[in-house]
Amino acid sequence: MANNNYQQLTRTFQRLSRFSHLSSIAGWDMAAMMPPGGSQARGEALAELGVLQHQILTDKNVANALEAAQQENLSDDERANLNEMARAYHQAALLPESLVEAKSLAGNRCEHAWRTQRKNNDWQGFAPNLKEVVRLSREEAKIRAEASGGSRYDALLDLYEPGMTSSRLDVLFADLKSWLPDLLQTVVDKQASRTLINPQGPFSTESQRQLGLETMTLLGFDFNGGRLDVSTHPFCGGVPEDVRITTRYDENDLLSALFGVIHETGHARYEQNLPRQWAGQPIAHARSMGVHESQSLFFEMQLGRSAEFLKHLLPKIQQHFGSQPAFSLDNFIAWSQTVERGYIRVDADEVSYPAHVILRYEIERALIDGQIEVDDIPALWDEKMQQYLGLSTEGNYRNGCMQDIHWTDGGFGYFPSYTLGAMYAAQLFQAARKALPDLDQNLNDGNFSPLFGWLQQNVWQHGSRFSTSELITHATGEDLNSRYFREHLTARYL
């Protein structure tokens, strides 16, 4: 029997993929290149494109073809692709077109204004836009929850991390909260007794940019299919054939932009190595945001902050910024592995980072489930920062509840991906070490290919063929286990 329905679907999804490509590059341009005056017109153009994609995806012919294709004679990969198509269709078909458009417009408006409002610590100006984004996100969550039978927050979480629920997150995060505060305190106390020499800036933006490009090369980034630019909030966007990385520079801080670039390069390598033979089909997409974050944190934390990697990074830093006492190997490693309580999530070390994520998760879940309102966020943020990190953000919206881009365009349910990613990354690194007996020697020699080859084999090439649980179990021999994250932090910092 010819697989006519399945073939028809692959053509539709190829078409959707091309529109998604345009939307992605236009979104990158909006964040990195576009003059401020273009914001409204671009927002309207992207909303129009979003509506068009929604119309194509939710057409009744797609529904009929999905049903008929279930009866066709498909290979395992085609069957996996069909499952991902059905998932995309059902997610889209739940939402009315008017809501898709309204969400896109409100998100673009809020995100664009946030860029200036954050700089000015202007919560009063920001809150009305955020309220509109939250109102529409709650509307979406309600529709999705009624269809799935779960909670409203879980319905949004599932968009980023299919199969994950807040009840499972609560167990994972409760485990973290049981040992992480003590570990953080112990590490901070231990590091307090050492004498560190801080590098003397300024570190010119151009030299930092060159250093970033060289580090991306060291990490195997393909510049024939991607580039590095600047934006307010570092991100990795674009498409597998054309991956766009951005970072932000501070001439008084060498590490922030550099490790931002290393983090985004992890995302980019994953994108650049997704299964190209399936390009344009849902099976070729990254599995989930948790798996995506596992790749960026694998690069930034597991590999990037390791003594072996820092040893190979240091000569490049000395080349750009000269020789100074801070750049002795021992001091540089200690400096790069400093643990301290700070306000900013993207600059946080890997020991304190989960506290930033748990705080956001608890606030956004209460917000979507209707237990709190937008006006409650600043006080709650301050309370949780004091509880988890011993810092107050009262009146400091810029470095408090306004620091992230995610909520501005309705990305509720995304934040848990970061800590899930850190756990997956530790488990994957442990599995790679077991599979590659010479790994430590390879890393010492600056030969990172065996490690990247292992990731290619076990994570990258599979795209969305397996569920997250299946992917992690195939790669490591067991489902997610937070024990490896704890062991990693203890081994590195104690």
Annotated binding-site ranges for Zn(2+): 263, 267, 293
- 271 has catalytic annotation: no
CA nearest 175: which of 480, 493, 491?
480
Positions at the binding site? 263, 267, 293
**Which residue is listed with tokens 């739940």?**
94
User: Which uninterrupted H or E stretch holds 43?
Assistant: helix 39-58
Q: Give residue 466's identity as a one-letter amino acid code.
A: F
**Which two structure tokens, joined as six digits, stand for 306?**
């390791």
Q: Are 440 and 308 in contact (CB under 8 A)?
A: yes
Identify the DSSP state of 301.
I
CA nearest 151: which of 161, 138, 133?
138
Q: Are 215 and 265 in contact (CB under 8 A)?
A: yes
User: Which uninterrupted H or E stretch holds 389?
Assistant: helix 377-389
Cα 425 to chain centroid, rounded: 13
> Which residue in 84, 111, 140, 264 is the catalytic one?
264
CA nearest 230: which of 248, 213, 243?
248
**Which two structure tokens, joined as six digits, stand for 150?**
């779960």
Q: Are 57 and 90 in contact (CB under 8 A)?
A: no
Identify the DSSP state of 36.
G
| Residue-by-residue DSSP string for 307-358 | HHHHHHHHHHHHHHH---GGGSHHHHHHHHT-----S-GGG--TTTHHHHHH
Return the HEC string of 194-227.
Answer: CCCCCCCCCCCHHHHHHHHHHHHHHCCCCHHHEE
CA nearest 462: which of 475, 448, 476, 480?
475
> What does DSSP say about strands 242-247 and 235-239: parallel, antiparallel, or unpaired?
antiparallel
Q: Are 270 and 289 in contact (CB under 8 A)?
A: no
Please provide residue 279's backbone torsions phi and psi, each rounded to the nearest 5 degrees: -50, 135
Q: Give residue 84's identity as a one-letter amino acid code.
A: E
Q: Name the 3-class secondary structure at 162.
A: coil
- β-bridge mates for residue 250, sequence order: 253
CA nearest 82: which of 176, 3, 167?
3
* Whole-number Cα distances in Å, 416 to 151, 173, 288, 488: 16, 9, 12, 19
How many angstroms separate the CA atoms of 462 and 273, rounded? 9
Catalytic residues: 264
